[in-house]
Amino acid sequence: MKKTVTILMASLLTIIVGCASYEPLVSMRGADVASPDKAPAVMAYAGKRPGTQPVVARTFSTQPPVIPHAVDNFDEVTLTENQCMDCHGPANYVKKNSPKLGDSHFVAATKTFDASRHNCTQCHVPQVDAPPLVENRFTGNIK
Ligand code: HEC
Ligand code: HEC
């Protein structure tokens, strides 16, 4: 019995001391852990009209190149519409003076467009000039 009381008292003391030195955790997103995410600030895409800037250097092999130009004026890619193909597709890229789709975007045997690549922005993303959230020392594997 006496031992139980001692253990209880010791536990209580630990809790009290623990609480006194308690400092709330500060999360990297600057909000309480349980609170919902703040909507990120809306930032303008860095690119301008297609045809007016160089492509962005790739940083690792197999990387889908990022989209260097603005995309704000293009309609979303839907099941039936794809404005990206108007410039990058095999029928138009020469006329539009645009980079051609990657070879991997075609079915090897038939040399026709691979429909699994229809949703371009699943892999290719436009860029904003935003400061990194955390320090990043990634240098890539392309020398
Ligand atoms: C009006 C023509 C046009 C349209 C529409 C267009 N692009 Fe482009 N795209 C270009 C041109 C021209 C470049 C060359 C760089 C530049 O001048 O912006 C380019 C560059 C790119 C690159 C970089 C290629 C590389 O080798 O680095 C990607 C990726 C790309 N576009 C994806 C897209 C996607 C995805 C869409 C649809 C959301 C799209 N583009 C719509 C003309 C266009
Ligand atoms: C599943 C991911 C994926 C999808 C979807 C996709 N791409 Fe790509 N794309 C890549 C990768 C990876 C590369 C790098 C070269 C390669 O693998 O062909 C690339 C390369 C390119 C290039 C540069 C070609 C070169 O190597 O010089 C252009 C332009 C491009 N894609 C446009 C598009 C457009 C337009 C669409 C939609 C019709 C699209 N891509 C859909 C992954 C994708």
Query: How do residues 12-58 score in pLDDT, each as one tens digit?
Result: 767 666 556 677 777 777 778 788 888 878 888 889 999 999 999 99
Residue with the bigger pLDDT between 132 and 58: it is 58
Distance 124 CA to ligand 1 centre (A): 10
Cβ atoms within 10 Å of 50's Cβ, excluding its own: 19
With contact defined as beta carbons under 8 Å apart, do 45 and 71 qualify? yes
Highest mean pLDDT among 3-12, 17-26, 97-106: 97-106
For ligand 2, what atom is nearest to the CA of residue 105? 18
Percent of the chain scoring above 90 in pLDDT:
52
| Mean pLDDT (the chain, rounded) | 87
Is the beta carbon of 70 within 6 A of some atom in ligand 1?
A: no
Q: Which ligand is nearest to the CA of 98?
A: 1
Is the beta carbon of 140 within 6 A of some atom in ligand 1?
A: no
Measured from CB, residues less than 6 Å from any atom of ligand 2 are 62, 64-65, 82, 84-85, 88, 99, 101-105, 117-120, 122-124
Residue with the bigger pLDDT between 113 and 39: it is 113
Query: Which amino acid residue places its CA nearest to atom 29 of ligand 1?
Result: 67
Is residue 87 scored above 90 in pLDDT?
Answer: yes
For ligand 1, what atom is nearest to the CA of residue 69? 18
What does the pLDDT read at residue 19? 56
List Cα–Cα distances, 6 to 13, 16, 17, 19, 24, in angstroms. 11, 15, 17, 20, 30
What does the pLDDT read at residue 16? 66
What does the pLDDT read at residue 38? 80
Structure-token pair, residue 4: 């139980």
